[in-house]
Each structure stands twice: as structure tokens, then as C-alpha cells.
Amino acid sequence: MKPYVIINAAMSVDGKLDSIERRGAALSSAQDRRRVLELRAEVDAVLVGGKTLLRESPRLTVKLPELSQQRLARGLPENPAKVGIVTRAELDPRGDFVTAGPARRILFTTSQTPPDQLELLNSLGVEVFVQDGQRVDVAQALEMLAGLGLRRLMLEGGGTLIAEFIRLGLADELRVYLAPKIFGGVTAPTLVDGAGWLASAARPLRLIEARVLDETGGLLIHYEFL
Ligand SMILES: NC(=O)c1ccc[n+]([C@@H]2O[C@H](COP(=O)([O-])OP(=O)(O)OC[C@H]3O[C@@H](n4cnc5c(N)ncnc54)[C@H](OP(=O)(O)O)[C@@H]3O)[C@@H](O)[C@H]2O)c1
């Protein structure tokens, strides 16, 4: 069975996940950062795409001791598993994705990843799944995650991987923090990038919740995919 997938991201009012610099510009408010950590604490695994992983090596942990304690009390590991989806892995072994935890670390990649990188990651305890093909087969990766007992997943971006999940009908919910900022720029990443699809194939959504999240004027918009 396919795991339940919640897409979560922060975007500017003009729909960008980052500025044209693509250096992981801050968008979340303090309240939104707290909301994201609480959501992480509720899921079995947190996923990110290759560009986000290689450029930012995100921590993806629940960070707050009270949240890890709550997980432990529920019989869960301190942090959700961290999952990277990357065509050609060149991870920094000292980066937060690899080192921050304790957390199970899982990587789906292709045979384009050099053997010495695979060896290095294995030696660091990262569970690596190598697929044939030009890019990672995301549906197959989700099946494998379900087989590992990971049933509730949070996809934290970027826009290319989010697009792939939506294109394949693999996403169940979309939670977006809308920051009162405008980044602009045709090359800045948007919430849903990729090649796009025809208007006739637009994915319908049902509103679950929309509310003002903080005094900066940031909004939380929460939909489910129909
Ligand atoms: N505001 C937020 O909430 C948030 C969250 C996360 C990231 N970001 C921002 O998003 C930007 C990065 O996003 P991005 O869209 O460039 O990249 P991304 O979604 O992080 O990563 C996409 C890459 O993953 C690899 N990949 C492997 N298999 C794939 C598949 N089946 N489908 C799609 N991708 C696959 C591809 O690498 P190849 O092209 O090498 O094949 C692809 O380019 C950064 O600026 C980051 O700061 C923002």
C-alpha cells in the first residue's frame, strides 16, 4: 500500500519556494517553524529532493527535546527517518542530512552515483537504494518505504520533486505557509515546477483549512488532493 504523503512547504505570495539565488532563503516565521517541527514529529519519514539535499544538506530532525520525548513516549524513534531522492549523489559526509540525529537515513539514487560515494554512505550507516534509469522512480521508492514500515510521509520540497509526486498522483495533502514576501524572478523555484501539464489535467483540491498563522501576516493554507 502507498504511504500517506503530506506535501509541506513555505512560499512567497508570488508562489516561490526560494529567491533567484537558490540558497534556501528564509520564508517561515517562528510560528511556522514550530508548526513544521510538530508536523515532522507526527510522521514516519521526511523526504527531500536532490537539489535541496545536495545544496543545503538539511537537518530534517524534530529539533525540540519535548517533541522527541513525545515520540519516544509513543514508542517511536526520536526523529522520523530522513529520505533523500537524488539522481547522482555527492553528499557531504559532514553535512546535517548525514550527521544530524539520531535518525534513520535513507537514500534513493540511480547507478549514476559513483561507487566510492555509495561505499562512503554505506560506511556512515545511510541505507542506499540504487535504481536503474535516468532518475529515481518515485512510485517504486514509496513502495519500498511502505515495505520498511514507513506509512506517513512528509515531502518538504523542492518544487521539482513536489511536481513529480503530484504528476504521479502520489500526494494526499498540501500544507503551505504563505509568507508575506515577494521574491519574483522567472528562474526562482516555485511550489510546483517540473514540465507542468495541460489545464485539462489540473489537479483538483479541497480546502481543509485557511488561517492567519502569525502577526507577520503569514497564512497557513491546507488542502487535500481529490
Ligand atoms: N520554501 C520551502 O519550503 C523549500 C523547501 C525545500 C526546498 N526549497 C528550495 O527549493 C529549491 C530546490 O528545488 P528544486 O526544484 O531545484 O529541486 P528539488 O525538488 O529539491 O530536487 C529535484 C532533483 O531531484 C532529482 N530527482 C531524482 N529523481 C527525481 C524524480 N523522479 N523526479 C524529480 N526529481 C528527481 C533531480 O536531479 P537531476 O536534475 O540531477 O536529475 C531533480 O532535479 C532550493 O532553492 C531550495 O531552497 C524550498
pLDDT in tens, 1-17: 899 999 999 999 999 99
pLDDT in tens, 61-92: 999 999 999 999 999 999 999 999 999 999 99
The reply to whether ligand 1 has any atom less than 6 angstroms from the CB of 158 is yes
Q: Model pTM?
A: 0.98
User: If you average pLDDT over residues 207-219, what whole number do you get?
Assistant: 97
Phi-psi region at 26: left, alpha or beta (left = phi > 0; alpha = psi -120 to 50): beta
| Cα(168) to centroid(ligand 1), Å | 16
Return the domain boundaries, the chain.
4-225
pLDDT in tens, 92-112: 999 999 999 999 999 999 999
CA dist 78 and 179 (Å) reads 30
Compute the C-alpha angle 117/194/108, nearest 5°.
25
pLDDT in tens, 156-204: 999 999 999 999 999 999 999 999 999 999 999 999 999 999 999 999 9
| Cα(123) to centroid(ligand 1), Å | 26
| Cα(12) to centroid(ligand 1), Å | 17
Give the domain 4-225 fold: Dihydrofolate Reductase, subunit A (3.40.430)
Strand arrangement, sheet containing 152-155: 127-131, 105-110, 81-85, 45-49, 152-155, 4-12, 173-179, 219-225, 205-212
pLDDT at 4: 98
pLDDT at 1: 82
CA dist 100 and 88 (Å) reads 22
